[in-house]
Chain A
Amino acid sequence: MKESLLEILCCPLDKHDLELEDAEYEENEVVSGTLICTECGERYPIEDGIPNLLPPDMREGTPA
């Protein structure tokens, strides 16, 4: 993802802003890091450059 995507992304649970932590970059792209909700503190990983904004109950290892 490009860092500018952060301007429109918000927490899927409470719609508050997200902050980017531990970002690693490759050619203007954020390839890994964590997006953290400034309100509830929920953490959303960036995996292979694709942010995973699935709510915690829908992530891998959680029964669908």
Chain B
Amino acid sequence: MKGQEWYQADDVAEEYDDKRFSRGGRLIDRREKRALLEAVGPVEGREILEIACGTGRFTTMLARRGADVVGLDISAAMLRQGREKARRAGVADHLEFLRGDAGRLPFPDDHFDTVVAMRFFHLADDPEGFLREMRRVASDRIVFDTFNRFSARSIYNWALPMGSRLYSKSEVAVLLAKADLTLVDVADDFLVPYGLYRAIPNALAAPIRAADEAVGALPTADHFASVSYWTARVR
């Protein structure tokens, strides 16, 4: 099955959170949410758009913290899960979901304070076009993550259901410049690739994570980091 079909299938959407973010995956979930909050800054009263929001892990969290959020995704099945999650969390009044194409967003210029895309750019066939479109609808901030070239992640890329695009730091710098964005901050994380965390029980994940963080604190470790979280400002 092609990646896009796999992602949009009903049964995949229904089991998506359970499969990806239970067990060792819970650590990833927590770490990613913390990284996003750090990158986004204060969210209260902000208008935020999330591209490729999937089942709404981040949209629900941002709405809960007082942002007005719109989540966009290609998959109706994923969005149905997102809406359920928003209702359960009692944030449905501050959160809207819609289907759309990240390359042709159905919003006017400069509408959102912040535009976010997590776990998106490794699947993007036209990163330059997508980033330009995110910038078009943002008035202040853009936040996204990339999987890095020369990281432990390369080892298990073959196991992903769809080809995964890796970026070097300089490639991202060029992308930002081309989209008229100024880099504010970049944070690196996860020396051990996600796939390993997903496969192991939580009890084991924590010690591995601790070792991971200890190594990650060494000055040379940045070059091997698996994920980078980028914050950029509209020029």
> In chain A between 1 and 37, which residues have their CB closer than 8 angstroms to a CB of chain B?
1-2, 5, 8-13, 15
**What chain A residues lie within 8 Å of B83 (beta carbons)?**
49-50
For the complex formed, measure the closest distance between the CB of A63 and the CB atoms of chain B, giving whole angstroms.
Answer: 10
Given A2-B96, A12-B100, A64-B2: A50 touches B107 (CB 8 Å cut-off): no
Q: Is B98 an interface residue (CB 8 A)?
A: yes
Proximity bits, B96-110, A CB within 8 Å = 1, else 0: 111111001111110
Proximity bits, B47-70, A CB within 8 Å = 1, else 0: 000000000000000000000001
Q: Are B106 and A11 in contact (CB under 8 A)?
A: yes
Q: Is B74 an interface residue (CB 8 A)?
A: yes
**What chain B residues lie within 8 Å of A10 (beta carbons)?**
106-108
Q: Are A51 and B101 in contact (CB under 8 A)?
A: no
**What chain A residues lie within 8 Å of B105 (beta carbons)?**
12
Q: Are B108 and A15 in contact (CB under 8 A)?
A: yes
Q: Are A12 and B98 in contact (CB under 8 A)?
A: no
Select which of B76, B101, B107 is within 8 A of A55 by beta carbon. B101
Q: Is A39 an interface residue (CB 8 A)?
A: no
Docked Cα-Cα span, A52 to B111, in Å, equals 19
> In chain B between 2 and 41, which residues have their CB closer than 8 angstroms to a CB of chain A?
2, 4-5
Q: Are A53 and B106 in contact (CB under 8 A)?
A: yes
Given A49-B83, A53-B106: A8 touches B111 (CB 8 Å cut-off): yes
> In chain B between 163 and 180, which residues have their CB closer than 8 angstroms to a CB of chain A?
none
**What chain B residues lie within 8 Å of A48 (beta carbons)?**
76, 80
Q: Are B107 and A9 in contact (CB under 8 A)?
A: yes
**What chain B residues lie within 8 Å of A5 (beta carbons)?**
70, 96, 98
A residues bordering B, Cβ < 8 Å? 1-2, 5, 8-13, 15, 47-55, 58, 64
| 10 more A-B residue pairs beyond the given contacts A8-B70, A48-B80, A50-B79, with a C-beta to C-beta distance below 8 A | A1-B96, A8-B111, A12-B101, A50-B97, A52-B76, A53-B98, A53-B100, A54-B99, A54-B101, A58-B74
